[in-house]
């Protein structure tokens, strides 16, 4: 339960910041601050129109991510992953993927279609969750973030270089902050 009504909306860290490519540290304290941070992460994610957000994307190098593939439609769909590990992958799906840290860029990414994650909740209790299609994709994408990996690492080197070149251009123009 949270008594704080005013939430903090964090700015989203963009590609180029080393925090996005650094493996995050495990969460060890399951305290009030963690619960506040999780709520702030959901609000920051919604404010940025995303369906998933990992802590490094707000500059916090912790193994923590939030997901809501229904975007506020179903409160039960809110998923908090603390210290997640992917423990099962089945099948394949190909679909467009994007990332709040790489705004405007979307590419087809092949992912497992059914994924099982093992993680802790905000109280520190371990659980396993299996998801398919978009949820599977989100669980993989967010867990990747916590391992310092971005979705562009799953596209061809050619496409990745093109994206990096476009971003450098945007940086030089002052349009990537
Ligand atoms: Ni992302």
User: Do the domain assignments include residue 9?
Assistant: no
User: Do the domain assignments include residue 114?
Assistant: yes
Q: Count CB atoms within 10 A of the CB of residue 73.
A: 8
User: Do the domain assignments include residue 2?
Assistant: no
pLDDT given for residue 3 in this prediction: 54
H helices of 9-156, where?
32-47, 134-146
Q: Using pLDDT thresholds of 50, 70 and 90, give the confidence band for residue 112.
A: very high
Mean pLDDT of 136-154: 98
Which of the residues are catalytic? Answer: 142
User: Do the domain assignments include residue 1?
Assistant: no
- The pLDDT tens digits of the residues spanning 150-171 come to 999 999 999 999 999 999 999 9
Q: How far apart are CA 162 and CA 51, in angstroms?
A: 25
pLDDT given for residue 64 in this prediction: 98
User: Do the domain assignments include residue 13?
Assistant: no
* Lowest pLDDT segment from 1-5, 35-39, 127-131, 152-156: 1-5
Number of domains in the chain: 1
Ligand 1 centre to CA of 28 (Å) is: 23
% of the chain exceeding 90 in pLDDT = 96
Ligand 1 centre to CA of 59 (Å) is: 13
User: Do the domain assignments include residue 10?
Assistant: no
User: Do the domain assignments include residue 177?
Assistant: no
User: Rg of the chain's alpha carbons, rounded to an integer?
Assistant: 16
Domain interval for residue 162: 18-172
User: Do the domain assignments include residue 70?
Assistant: yes
Is the pLDDT at 130 greater than 90? The verdict is yes
**pTM over cut 0.85:** yes
Ligand 1 centre to CA of 129 (Å) is: 20
CA distances to 79, 99, 107 from 19, in Å? 23, 15, 22
Ligand 1 centre to CA of 177 (Å) is: 16
CA distances to 38, 87, 136, 150, 170 from 42, in Å? 6, 25, 19, 20, 28
Ligand 1 centre to CA of 4 (Å) is: 27
Q: What's the mean pLDDT when you consider all of the chain? A: 96
Ligand 1 centre to CA of 53 (Å) is: 6
Mean pLDDT of 128-135: 98
- CA–chain centroid gap for 40, Å, is 14
Q: Using pLDDT thresholds of 50, 70 and 90, give the confidence band for residue 70.
A: very high
CATH code at position 89? 3.90.45.10
pLDDT given for residue 177 in this prediction: 82
Q: How far apart are CA 128 and CA 108, in angstroms?
A: 27
Ligand 1 centre to CA of 70 (Å) is: 16
Q: Using pLDDT thresholds of 50, 70 and 90, give the confidence band for residue 76.
A: very high
């Amino acid at each position: 339960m949270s008594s704080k009504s005013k939430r903090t909306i964090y700015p989203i860290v963009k590609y180029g910041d080393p925090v996005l490519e650094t493996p995050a540290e495990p969460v060890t304290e399951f305290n009030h601050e963690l619960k506040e941070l999780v709520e702030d992460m959901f609000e920051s994610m919604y404010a940025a129109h995303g369906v998933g957000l990992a802590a490094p994307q707000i500059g916090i190098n912790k193994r923590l991510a939030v997901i809501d593939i229904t975007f506020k439609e179903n409160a039960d769909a809110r998923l908090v992953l603390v210290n997640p590990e992917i423990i099962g992958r089945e099948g394949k799906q190909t679909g467009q993927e994007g990332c709040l840290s790489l705004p405007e860029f979307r590419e087809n990414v092949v992912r497992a279609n059914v994924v099982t994650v093992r993680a802790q909740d905000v109280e520190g209790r371990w659980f396993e969750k299996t998801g398919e299609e978009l949820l599977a994709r989100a669980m993989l994408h967010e867990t990747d973030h916590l391992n310092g990996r971005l979705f562009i690492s799953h596209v061809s080197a050619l496409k990745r270089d093109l994206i990096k070149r476009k971003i450098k251009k945007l940086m030089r123009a002052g349009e990537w902050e």
